[in-house]
Amino acid sequence: MEIWADTANTAEIEKINALGILDGVTTNPSLIAKEAGDPIAILKRITSVVKGPVSAEVISVEADGMIKEGTKLAGIAPNIVVKIPMGIEGLKAIKVLHQKGIRTNCTLTFSANQALLAAKAGASYVNAFVGRIDDEGDDGFRLVQDILVMLENYKLQSELIVASIRHPWHVHLSAQAGAHVATIPTAVIEKMASHIRTTEGINKFLADWNKAGKEYKI
């Protein structure tokens, strides 16, 4: 499963990239709004750090505007994937951008039917926003399973991104389900690397070593 960072913060992206586990990045208007500076400059910086797909979202709500903006965003770097919100206008834009050879990430998909339409229109990626679904008292991973079965049934080319991840267990369930991508907040990626027993173990080894007065003569 690919691991993407769900952030527009370059310092966080550099930190995670240094771990050798980062395959891509997703941004959205809320994430970009949190960062100081020009949005295009922010996206350019991210694409220079990460070689894999970097999602940049359109702001327009009509297909023509989405296509214009999407084409401009795609020009920032070859690894930009244009994020298009689901809907009738979004589907029209996805189709045209696909025909122009521009990769798209159809965002804000909350049902298998939405994902089916996006995949048929030519979206490179469709999403399951598991955290926001769980927030409504439903099961985000039922949707993950449904979309994966549907993509497989018809050999559709889109890949599934598990998005709106809130904690490490969401990542575990994504990998177990066979999702293509999990886009994860950096704090959750850091939590995945830690375990109370790991910390305890390191501390105990060091305490025993120091108590015995050992040292490596290297």
Q: Active-site residues: which are they? A: 83
8, 32, 38, 42 from 45: Cα distances, Å: 10, 12, 11, 5
User: Which H/E stretch holds residue 64?
Assistant: helix 63-74
**Cα dihedral angle (111, 53, 97, 157), rounded to 10 degrees?**
-50
Among 17, 24, 25, 28, contact with ligand E4P (rule: CB under 6 A): 28
Minimum distance between the CB of residue 148 and ligand E4P, rounded to whole angstroms?
18
Asked if 35 is part of the footprint of ligand E4P (rule: CB under 6 A), the reply reads no
Asked if 164 is part of the footprint of ligand E4P (rule: CB under 6 A), the reply reads yes
Nearer to ligand E4P, 17 or 127 (CB): 127
Residue 43, by phi and psi: left (phi above 0), alpha (psi -120 to 50) or beta? alpha
Query: Which residues is 107 bridged to in the sheet?
Result: 85
C-alpha–C-alpha distance, residues 87 and 117, integer Å: 9
Residues numbered 109-128 forming contacts with ligand E4P, rule: CB under 6 A: none
Asked if 131 is part of the footprint of ligand E4P (rule: CB under 6 A), the reply reads yes
3-state secondary structure of 41: helix
Q: How many residues bind ligand E4P (CB under 6 A)?
A: 10
Asked if 26 is part of the footprint of ligand E4P (rule: CB under 6 A), the reply reads yes
Among 13, 183, 188, 189, contact with ligand E4P (rule: CB under 6 A): 183
Chain residues that interact with ligand E4P, rule: CB under 6 A:
6, 26, 28, 107, 129, 131-132, 163-164, 183
